[in-house]
Amino acid sequence: MPYKLSGREVYIVLSAIYEKYYYIADQLINYNENFPINTLEYWKSAGYVSRDVTPDYFAYFDRSGRRHPFNLFIFGRFHSAIEKGGNNFDEILESSVYAPLLKPNISAMQTAEMNMKNYLSALGGDDLLNHHYTILNMLLSYHRHDLHPIVTITGTYDPRKAVDNYQALASEFYHRLGPGQDWQSIAHFLVYDTKRQGEGTDILFKYGNIQVYKLPLGTACAGCKSLYIESEKPKLYYISDLLNSGPQSITQRVEEESTTIPTCGPSHLWCGCSGPFPLTKMEWWFDESPPNAI
Ligand SMILES: [Zn+2]
């Protein structure tokens, strides 16, 4: 008899997968995917999971623990671990998190890789593109807080401490991939782009396609101010428009001083604009005019 996971254990395994792979998982959220009920019924009758497990367990978990529709990546890893089976809970948990990537996982990785390739070719051309896999993995590791410095300079780094800022990440890029690139700009751009995209995705999941705004610093460039401020008030955009405009605008964001496309992430290299912030309609500047279209 295979080990039968209780509802609680199913929850722990799914959460552990998300915890380790959230950046990849976030790239492969499928709003319209229906949960394969037959698969769950088969698992129940074969004794893999207990009877109380419902399709709702296989929803997407965001960073605040809320559930959203079925996530292809997380389901794929769970599926492979369940069908492989195990003698106890720990074995199944272990193979869910550490098993080699399978087909659904690989397609998630390919999406993440494709985005990364677009970024890197705009940021540094072919030299950088050759390292896309290493850079993607380092960035994933950075966001998971488990990227440790490989070079320690006395008094500068504590090797037990994970890399936790873009300057330190730039130094890791330099030490692993060599000179010849502006690693500071690249690290700043990649860190803030993934961070803001993640925050934007969170907003979309938590509140739906609501209106948001970004806040340029007082010292921001004229380009950013005109994108995000109008008549001294923040401009409003729908969050899905900002999220979707990211990949298309990448070349413009990297190669030109300022972009004409509002984005979730940085509008250009070294852009320090904060947000997106959800509109609460309590903002002092808020009035009822319709949001801007992109
Ligand atoms: Zn900016």
Cα 214 to middle of ligand 1, angstroms: 9
Which of 50, 77, 106 is the last residue before a domain boundary? 106
Cα 86 to middle of ligand 1, angstroms: 50
Cα 226 to middle of ligand 1, angstroms: 10
Longest dimension (CA), the chain: 69
Please report, to the nearest 10 degrees, the dihedral formed by the alpha carbons of residues 72, 77, 80, 82 taken in order: -100
**11 within domain boundaries:** yes
Dump pLDDT digits (tens) for 13-64: 998 888 777 766 766 665 556 677 888 888 999 899 999 998 888 876 656 6
Task: Give the three-class secondary structure for 58.
Answer: helix
Distance of alpha carbon 73 from alpha carbon 38, whole angstroms: 19
Dump pLDDT digits (tens) for 117-128: 888 888 888 888
Q: What total of structural domains would you count in the chain?
A: 2
Which of 90, 106, 122 is the last residue before a domain boundary? 106
Is the Cβ–Cβ distance between 107 and 127 less than 8 Å? no
Is the Cβ–Cβ distance between 227 and 259 less than 8 Å? yes
Distance of alpha carbon 9 from alpha carbon 292, whole angstroms: 46
Distance of alpha carbon 185 from alpha carbon 167, whole angstroms: 9
Is the Cβ–Cβ distance between 101 and 92 less than 8 Å? no
User: Residue 92 is part of which domain span?
Assistant: 7-106
**210 within domain boundaries:** yes
**162 within domain boundaries:** no
Cα 74 to middle of ligand 1, angstroms: 34
| pLDDT-flagged residues of the chain (< 70) | 23-24, 26-34, 60-70, 100-113, 151-160, 205, 247, 257-259, 289-291
